[in-house]
Amino acid sequence: MPEPARNGLQMAIYGECIGAHSRAAVTISDLDDTGCDLFPDSGTPVLGDCALWIGAVGPFEATAIPRDNGHSAARFKEPLDRKIVHHFNCG
């Protein structure tokens, strides 16, 4: 279950990470223009380079790095447009 958001997204949204050899449904939390937290539905952390879909918007090139408690932090290769972040923050 996602932890409360700290700086960005105040609600969880669903997305998908597509890597070179796998894809995973994820819950996205704490979205800002530089990255977000990823909580995989399977419980297996997403790692490495991936294309991230945020809801039906994307793909955004990102790198997923391990965090604690089985989740990952995604860092976008290019900052997200503030309009996209605003859209999801207004949920």
Q: Which one is predicted more confidently, 89 or 35?
A: 35
Q: What is the pLDDT of residue 2?
A: 45
pLDDT band of residue 69 (cuts 50, 70, 90) is confident
Q: Kindly state the greatest CA–CA separation across the chain.
A: 34
Q: What is the pLDDT of residue 1?
A: 42
Write down the pTM of the prediction. 0.82
What are 29's strand-pairing partners? 37
Helix (H, G, I), strand (E, B) or coil at 21: coil
pLDDT greater than 90 at residue 78:
yes
Instruction: Domains for the chain: give ranges and CATH numbers.
Output: 13-90 (2.40.10.220)
pLDDT tens digits for 34-59? Answer: 999 999 998 777 889 999 999 999 99
Helix (H, G, I), strand (E, B) or coil at 85: helix
Angle at 12 between CA 87 and CA 49, to 5 degrees: 85
